[in-house]
Structure 1
Amino acid sequence: MANVLVTGGTGFIGSWCARALLEAGHDVRTTVRDLKREPELRALLHASTDFEDERLTVVRADLGSDDGWAEAVAGCDFVLHVASPTLRTAPVSEDAMVSAARDGVLRVLQASRDACVKRVVLTSALGAIAYGHPRRSTPFTEEDWTNVDGDIAPYQRSKTLAERAAWEFVRNEGDGLELAAVHPAAVIGPVLGPDDPPSLRTIRGMLDGSLPACPPFGTGWVDVRDVADLHLRAMTDPAAAGERFLATAGPSLRMVEVARILRARLGERAAKAPTREIPLAVARAMALVNPQMRSLRPQLGQDFNATSAKAERVLGWRPRPVADSIAETAESLLAHNVVGAR
């Protein structure tokens, strides 16, 4: 079994990666920005799976600083770089967002190379593959890259440029360090505790009525447990070195289709889920005045359909049915009283 560093262990994907590693028998070290969160993380992981307490180590490291990274990676065989930088000053310029994402990735890669880590698995996103392109009928694959000169949001631009910087670093300065990248679509699934991951706020809004109608676009969806599983496969399989892997559970779904699944599976508990999609022309007009719709403007009218055939073929990955994940996400949010929380 290996020693594995997971960056961002308190995050939605990071916590599930830590859990999957512990269940697989690996020793886990994870980074947090604030060590005050260690007891909370340790308790959540103990509540969800059995492991000897000494197999989990929590250390402090922030992607915005060099401090702590040499110690974080020391003695590790693999690194799952899941964390994304959090810019806590507002407003944040697009240049600052891109620089923070790129610099954070390079910090982890440099420390990993210097510590003789075998492989880093980078959590990228569908946003580094499918955005800024004309509408198309064929699904996106790992061969595609987001067009950073297109009409895209700062987040997608930052993820794309950070990943490109990662591949360039490994190619030119990696000194034998291996890299693999995982590209999840919209990540859903159960929470380990009463947290409020940003990726689940669409489903939360459908349940509590704060999303009365659905914006007109479609995307892929994937369960966080399957995302964690793909990270572990990309970490250990020799065939994963130097490769990108999309993670999506089937074809894209429109937001209104997700709402219909909630109503069908949860009945009265999803009675507030929207039943209609906002017409595209109306949504575009709303984007001129509504901040939430404005943030979605580049996505309106688009269908970000992608395929995970490569992960299934090369790594044997098998995602669970997306309708089950949507229902279990909602059940988890209700069970942890996250719905309606602000």
Structure 2
Amino acid sequence: MREEESTMNRRVFLTTTAAGAATFAFPAVLRAQSKDPIRIGFPAPLTGPFSAIAADMKQGAELAVDELNAKGGILGRKVEVLIRDDQLKPQVGAQRTQELIEKEGCQFIVGGLAAHVQMAINEQTKKAKVLFISTSQSDEISAKPDTSPITFHEALNPTITSRVVGKWVMENLGKKWWIVYADYAWGKQNNMVLSETNKKHGGTVLGNTPYPLGSAEFSAHLPKIQAAKPEVLVSCTPGADNIAFLKQVKSFGMHQQMKIAQPLHWISVAKQGGPELYQDIYGGMNFYWELQDGNPDVKRYVDSFQKKFGTPPGEYGVYAYSAILEVARGSELAKTT
């Protein structure tokens, strides 16, 4: 195939996502049309502290594939999603992605649920010239040097989330904060943006406490935070760490001494923790199923999800569902896979 014939127009694909345009070489995607299934690789942390969120993403992806195949697939070809456990480790995420592309013939990669892992996934997809749609919050994934003409981002990012939630916390809960954050890309990004937002609105951050992701032991830090008497304890503790953090904070009686806020609520995690644990915990949300009351598309999605899985959808499952459908829309518009 000549070079000019292996060039796909990004404007064609991005028409489906209302984004910009550029022309780029995309040889791994432009294959001769056949009736073989279109394979979409999906690395996600099925084990570890993000397992509940990853399970929601897995369900969203599976629902999207079911809907596509019920309508004839993509360009008449059946769609398969191959979900692999990246163990929330960058090196494993990179390895799984490489295997999905080289050994299992995936034409697209969707997924990733932690900023540091999705960047490792992205390095592999860029190297192989395979389109990647990230489904996790990250600032770097859509900025140089990590972004690329074939790197797409389905989720919000920490800057958007923490600016909005931080401003609301300043206006409604208090201006003296203490921030506890997971010491990896997502946590660091939120800590930085929250601290900047607090300062911009005339507040004071009394302290910032990092901790290793997945090592959810906070009791040694809590007496110092109590002694500082913040008006708001801001938690950037994702996944199962969030449950452990809130249990320890409440065991110290801190929920009666200060407000507790966090950039995000994770529906699947809150289901595990239970309503009592999450009572009076303030946070932002990417999606909530009651949006169906005012949006017919959301209602259709929620109804389909509940019919298939017997439970309302979470917010990260929506990212996965949407990303799979974007692969289909882009392929149909470009008339190629």
TM-score class, shorter: 0.3 to 0.5
TM superposition score normalised by structure 2: 0.33
Mark the structure with the bigger radius of gyration: 2
TM superposition score normalised by structure 1: 0.33
Bigger relative contact order, structure 1 or 2 (CA pairs below 8 A, ≥6 apart):
2
More strand by share: 2
